[in-house]
Structure 1
């Protein structure tokens, strides 16, 4: 599953696509990976 997240860096907002990856070795925990930068 992927979604759009905004991060505020030095007062400016940036948009990123974030994906969830399941980690089977770590007791079924989810790791969020920022896959692409979309822009301001």
Structure 2
């Protein structure tokens, strides 16, 4: 029973870390697109 709980906790941690990475990556892409739009507006 304890092994199942530990495995479930590890699996949950992996899922949450993967979703956090996707969120940070998406935020980086948003910031990059805002910078590019600013460059185009200036030129």
TM-score scaled by structure 2? Answer: 0.19
Quick check: which one's strand share is greater? 1
Indicate the structure (1 or 2) with the bigger Cα radius of gyration.
2
Bigger relative CO (Cα 8 Å, ≥ 6 apart): 1
TM-score scaled by structure 1? Answer: 0.20
